[in-house]
Amino acid sequence: MSSLTIFEALGQARRNIADIDARMLLQYVLDVNHAYLLAHPEQKLTAEQAQAFYLLTGRRTLGEPVAYLTGRREFYSLEFNVTPAVLVPRPETELLIDLALARIPPQRPCRILDLGTGSGAIALTLATHRPLAKVTAVDVSAAAVAVANANAARFSLNNVRVIEADWFEGVAGESFDLIVSNPPYIAGDDPHLAQGDLRFEPQIALVAPSEGLGCIRLIIDSAPAHLAPEGSLLLEHGYDQAEACRCLLREAGFREVFSQPDLAGIMRVSGGWFRSFPGEAAKMRY
């Protein structure tokens, strides 16, 4: 038996890592929730538990994301399995979910496409909250597809399909009522890539060419050919990319173009409607 109590273990860990990180790691080691930690501060850790917690806090001190250490992350009140093959779902992306759900009446069947799905956080959350929707999730990474499929099975969702493909290549000839994406949008020379959690996350899911706008531009330019009449597109983007996204959307023929701030006041999501008649989008492109 270790001589460390829950209270003492958390106190030691907080010297090097954030309080919330310490709590999440200890909850993982003990397989308990936050309320349990609060109710049992004097409980002693076993030697094995103390060692496991020590090793995890050491890795977190070096910057490794908590989600990779525990293999899970909560997003929109759902707990997702995550691995280093996918981005860690972040709270600011929940804005994209809010805006998407606002455009999808619960009682109306529709088709949704999520590009660059990663863990499936966006696609599976939408599928959970809109069971009449048929959701297609696409990712170019086979490892990411495996994680998304595992999460879909975990949630017992039967209205989702996950495809390994490069952007729209896996849905040729298909149209959707809503296309959503949290694509790579960081420029390759951005200093943030060498800081914090980003050092451990997959670069393919973070970095985009053309000063971070390459993937966004590709999606905006290609989306009209895959949108049903009155279909819409919603994109998460970087803190300083809202204006550029709105310009690209207008140039591609989108209407009612907008940007929406997240809870921190940062313009985080942009989008618009594409009002076309069947075949019109394809004629515009070709």
Contact 113, 176 (CB under 8 A): yes
Strand-pairing partners, residue 181, are 115, 235
182 is in an annotated binding site: yes
118 is in an annotated binding site: yes
Q: What gap in Å lies between CA 188 and CA 209, rounded to an integer?
A: 7
Q: What gap in Å lies between CA 233 and CA 180, rounded to an integer?
A: 6
183 is in an annotated binding site: yes
116 is in an annotated binding site: yes
- The backbone torsions φ and ψ at residue 207, rounded to the nearest 5 degrees and listed phi first, read -95, 135
Region class of 138: left (phi > 0), else alpha (psi between -120 and 50), else beta: beta
E strand or H helix that includes residue 96: helix 94-102
Whole-Å CA distances, 37 to 14, 25, 56, 64, 164 = 15, 11, 17, 23, 41
229 is in an annotated binding site: no
The residue type found at 277 is: F
184 is in an annotated binding site: yes
Q: What gap in Å lies between CA 211 and CA 68, rounded to an integer?
A: 28
119 is in an annotated binding site: yes
Which residue's entry shows tokens 């209205």?
159
Q: What gap in Å lies between CA 117 and CA 75, rounded to an integer?
A: 14
Nearest to 119 by CA among 171, 166, 95, 155: 155
Q: What gap in Å lies between CA 136 and CA 146, rounded to an integer?
A: 14
Residues annotated within a binding site: 116-120, 139, 167, 182-185
Residues annotated within a binding site for S-adenosyl-L-methionine: 116-120, 139, 167, 182
Residues annotated within a binding site for substrate: 182-185
